[in-house]
Structure formats: C-alpha cells, structure tokens
Structure 1
Amino acid sequence: MSFAPATDCHVHLLPRRLTEAIRSALGGEAGWSFQHSPDPTAIEETLLSAGVERYISLPYAHRPGMAADLNDWVLEWAAASEACVPFATVHPEDDVREVVRAAFDGGARGLKFQCPVQECSPDDPRLAPAFELAAERDRSVLFHAGTAPLYEESPYVGVDRFRAFCASYPNVSVCCAHMGTYETDAFLEVLADNEQAFLDTSFAMADSEYVAFDADSIDNSVFETFAGQIMYGSDFPNIPHAYRAERAGLLARDLSSAATDALFRGAADRFLGTA
C-alpha cells in the first residue's frame, strides 16, 4: 500500500501561540503531552517529509471576534505554501455572513467547526448564513460533530445534528471528523444515504495507546464500500503520538489499490471538488 503522495485532510497549522493554548487545554483535559513542534514551518516540514503532498489547515474560533484575524493568518500562510489548502472558521456570535464572505473571497476552500468547543451544532440556525454561502460558493464544511473524546454529554454533537445538516444542504460536501466516534455505525448510515457526506480517520484510526476506540472494530469492508467518502486525516500536530501512528494501522490493512488510493488521495479530491 502506498501512502505518498497523500492528502492529510485534518491538520491544525495555526499561529504558534494558539497551538500552545490548544495544547494546554487538551493536556489539562486528557493528560496528554505533545512531542511535535508547534512552529508552523516545522509542522509543514514534518508533513512533507512523511509524504504528504497536500494538507487542509483547519482553524476554529473558540470565542467571538477572533475568526477574521485567524482566517487571514491561515490564508496568508497558504498563499506562501504549495501544500496548504486553507479552510476558515467563524464563531456563531460573529457577523457570520461577513466573516465567511471575506474568507471565501480571500481563497478559503471550506469551513471548520469544532462544535463542542465553539458551542454550536451542524444545524445551528445562527450559522445558516455560513452554510448558505458554502452552498453558493461550492465550498466544503468539516465538523467535529461526534461525541469523542470527551463530549458524550454535549448538546452540540451527535449524528442527528449532522444528519440534519445533510438534509438542509444536500449539495454541500460535509465531513465529520474522527470517523464519527463514538457513533461510527450511525455516521456510516448517513454516508450511505448521502454521497456528499464524508468521514475522516483522524485520531480514531491511529495505532496509539492514547486512542479510546478500537480501530479493529472497523472492518476493511467499510473502506471498500465507502471508498471516496472516507479520507485520511491526522489531527497533526496536536496528537500525543508519533505522526506515523496515524497511518500505520491503515497501511497495514489488506485494502484494494482503489480503496487505498481513495483513502489517501481520491476522497479528499471529491470532498474539495478537485476530482
């Protein structure tokens, strides 16, 4: 099985200070420590040296008023990078339409929402202007809409909220991160009903002692059946294990060449509309 040239569809390449703040929060909640540099240049170099040809940079705004500047930073970085595909974000208490319009005008290829942290859901009416613009501009949307790792009691996540988005915006390519854990089977049912729905593998499928999910519970047939709708992602650099752990278990699977290519490349092309 061939990893390179891969697309990593779930990377958090952000200003160093923000990366350090995110890690502080994650470390406090989960007790993790982080071995990867928070420096943006080092992050990109690690990805490229591993065989990543393209990566999606996913910002998210945990408070009002920060999204526009964060989006500008990501867009500026992407303009100088041959590998970065910039996404944007918006907080539900911002001027949603204006922030998203400016980001799309600046070249953002999609939107990212960390639902439990941002306290918004995939069917949040406050975000309707963002979703409408995504539909108008043919932009993609990626949600942390699953209950893992610490959000089983959160009112902002769950397969029903994700399914509601798919019903309202059936032509928008939309991804749930982390294989939809801990409701993976239910999210796979959504994929079966909607060709524009996707999952990414980030963290959930890692060969790591830190992952509270049995990756072996996902049969190879899932990657064959949903080839073109399941994308490789890593959550890099905010992972407590080596980057190779994100792909090791996937590469060890006995998948067809078509499913392998879809996992590491083709599904991302479909998600981004570049196929």
Structure 2
Amino acid sequence: MCPDDVVEPAPFSPEDAARVRALWEPLGVSNLIDVHTHFMPRNVLDKVWAYFDSAGPLLGREWPITYRADEQLRVDTLGAFGVRAFTSMIYAHKTDMAAWLNAWAVDFAANQPHCLHTSTFYPEPGAVDYTRAAIEAGTRIFKVHVQVGDFSPADPLLDDVWGVVEDSGLPVMIHCGSGPAPGRFTGPGPVAEVLKRHPDLRLIIAHMGTTEYVEFLELAERYENVGLDTTMSFTDFAESGAPYPRAALPRVKALGDKVFWGSDYPNIPYPYAHGIESLIRLDLGDDWLRKVLYENAAALFGLA
C-alpha cells in the first residue's frame, strides 16, 4: 500500500480523509460515488464482523475491519472522503429475512439522504411480492450474494423476480464469483443462464467477478446492461491471492462506461484510499478513472 517507512494515517482521521481527497480531486470530478458499501441492522452487522474476526471458512485468512465504528461515524466518514452517494448493501442468506432487511433499508435511506436505497431478495415463496414492494418504496439498487446465500441465481423461485427487476430497469449488485472461496452456485454459468432468460437485466458483477475475471468480463462485453464493480479488486490484499490478469486490462479500459467504483467499506482490511490508489496504478488513464469513480454511477442513478 505504502512504502515501509510511511506511516498510514489513522482510520477516521482528517489525514485519512485528506489522503482520499488528494487522489480524486485532481481528476476534476465533483465527488465520488461508491456503489458497494455495507450498512445493515446492527445485530446483522455484528454477526458479519464476528465472522470476519474469526477468519471464517469463506475467508481463509485474517481480515481486520479497518472502519469498525458506530453507524453515524461511518456515514460521516464517507462524506469526509467526498462520497456523494453510497449504498447499504444488505443481503439475505435464509428464508424470511429479505423482506425484514428491506423494511430496515427504507428507514435507513430515509434518514441518510446520501444513501442509494438498497434492497435484496432470496429464492423463496413471496419473493416477487416483496420485490415489487421494494420497487414501489423507491429502491435504487438490489444486492444479492450467491456465495453467502448458497443459492443459484437461476433458481426457478427467482425467475419472476428477475423479470420484475428487468422491467424496472433497476440494477442488481450480484456477488457471484468464486472469490474469496467457491460456493455451490458461484461462477459465470448460473448468471449466464439468467441472462439468457432476461437479456435486458441490469447487473453489476461485484468484485470484477473474482475469481472468474475473464468469464465475467465476457458477459459484460456481450450484454449491454451488464457491468462490473471494482470492489477490492487490484488491491494488494486481493492481488496476493487472486491477481487480475493483466492481459485483460485493455478490455477493462474499453469497458470503461460500465465499470463502477466500489469499496466494500467498512469491511476492508486496508485504508479506503488504497482501493483508489490501486485503480490509479493500473495506468488506464484519467478519463477511465473519472468514469469509474463518479461519472458512470452518476449517469446510472441520475445524479449527474
């Protein structure tokens, strides 16, 4: 991240925020938009943090939470970084959970004007009904986590859900790659099956599709409404275990209109700035960076 003789600024400090701003302000964009941040009910977040603290089996390595703090401090820190809009990436891992999370997300977004109202769904009876309700309540984006949820996105219980979401034009952030550990339904196959049925579906593939980078890149090239988010990708932490193939970077640059900045804040094991620094050192150009860090999401969510 930094040379050994450079001291990292403390999380939540003015120096931490200044380091982030020094990276994006020279690009001439007005702000950042982070499409992959996690805010969720405290009892759920505590369980997520406990899992990270235990280096659970899906992690397989130490994963310290850099930005562990009370909710409002976490929100305020994004503002200090210059983040104009962020998400509350919630996801269900069992039945009878998604509708409850969606109800929480309505209140959170109402109280946090910079939050892009986020909802989720899970393969279960009634999913299409609460998905419609979430759309009517003003959700801006959905999140599903194939690995943690241990379900196939091509599950027949979700077919009508995908149809409703496709018709709405709203994006779905989907964690479907096999990183940090493969699941029974991870990988490009089930997602490709969904896209065959719903070719206009607006998907954002989380983490650049780690670890099936090229396969998910191909889906984004093939389908007009499929994009990628950069969450954790290209960082020292990610590169040590699953390096992104450098031969594919020209294709990532060419796909610049459909790549979005995501951080995984607060659950990242390094300073927020490092994620942006990792994009800069790809040397894909300032135009690409402007699109990724702000312009693409601004257009998607009507914030330009």
TM-score, normalised via structure 1 length: 0.90
Residues 203 and 218 (structure 1), Cα distance of their counterparts in 2 relative to 1, 3 Å cut: farther
| Partner SS state of residue 131, structure 2 | helix
- The equivalent position to 1:238 in structure 2, one of 252, 267, 270, is 267
1:72 and 2:98 aligned:
no
Counterparts of 2:296 and 2:206, CA distance in 1: 14
% identical aligned pairs: 27
Aligned to 2:41: 15
Q: Which amino acid aligns with 2:43?
A: R
1:255 and 2:284 aligned:
yes
Aligned residues: 273
Q: Which amino acid aligns with 2:63?
A: W
The equivalences for 1:1-275 within 5 A come to 2=24, 5-28=31-54, 29=56, 30=59, 31-151=62-182, 154-208=183-237, 212-215=241-244, 217=246, 220-272=249-301
Q: Following superposition, which runs of at least 4 residues in structure 1 exceed 6 angstroms of deviation?
A: none
Q: Deviations over 1:123-150 (max 9, x none)?
A: 2211112211112222111111100001
Unaligned runs of 5+ in 1: none
Counterparts of 1:117 and 1:218, CA distance in 2: 30
The answer to whether the Cα contact below 8 Å between 2:32 and 2:293 also exists between their aligned partners in 1 is: yes
Unaligned runs of 5+ in 2: 1-22
1:49 deviation in Å? 1.0
Counterparts of 2:292 and 2:205, CA distance in 1: 15
Q: Which amino acid aligns with 1:232?
A: W
Q: Tell me which structure has the larger Cα radius of gyration.
A: 2
Q: Which amino acid aligns with 2:196?
A: A
Counterparts of 1:219 and 1:8, CA distance in 2: 24
Residues 26 and 225 (structure 1), Cα distance of their counterparts in 2 relative to 1, 3 Å cut: same
Residues 211 and 240 (structure 1), Cα distance of their counterparts in 2 relative to 1, 3 Å cut: farther
Counterparts of 1:77 and 1:257, CA distance in 2: 34
Q: Which region of structure 1 is more displaced relative to structure 2, 80-89 or 33-42?
A: 33-42
1:267 deviation in Å? 2.4
Residues 138 and 274 (structure 1), Cα distance of their counterparts in 2 relative to 1, 3 Å cut: farther
Aligned to 2:8: none
The answer to whether the Cα contact below 8 Å between 2:68 and 2:267 also exists between their aligned partners in 1 is: no
Counterparts of 1:53 and 1:192, CA distance in 2: 28
1:180 deviation in Å? 0.5
Counterparts of 2:131 and 2:161, CA distance in 1: 6
1:94 deviation in Å? 4.6
The answer to whether the Cα contact below 8 Å between 1:198 and 1:230 also exists between their aligned partners in 2 is: yes
1:188 deviation in Å? 1.0
The answer to whether the Cα contact below 8 Å between 1:2 and 1:251 also exists between their aligned partners in 2 is: no
The answer to whether the Cα contact below 8 Å between 2:213 and 2:244 also exists between their aligned partners in 1 is: no
Counterparts of 1:78 and 1:240, CA distance in 2: 26
| Partner SS state of residue 84, structure 2 | strand
Q: Which region of structure 1 is more displaced relative to structure 2, 125-134 or 37-46?
A: 37-46
1:219 deviation in Å? 5.6
Counterparts of 1:105 and 1:133, CA distance in 2: 12
TM-score, normalised via structure 2 length: 0.82
Counterparts of 2:111 and 2:135, CA distance in 1: 17
Q: Which region of structure 1 is more displaced relative to structure 2, 158-167 or 206-215?
A: 206-215
1:12 deviation in Å? 0.8
1:274 deviation in Å? 6.0
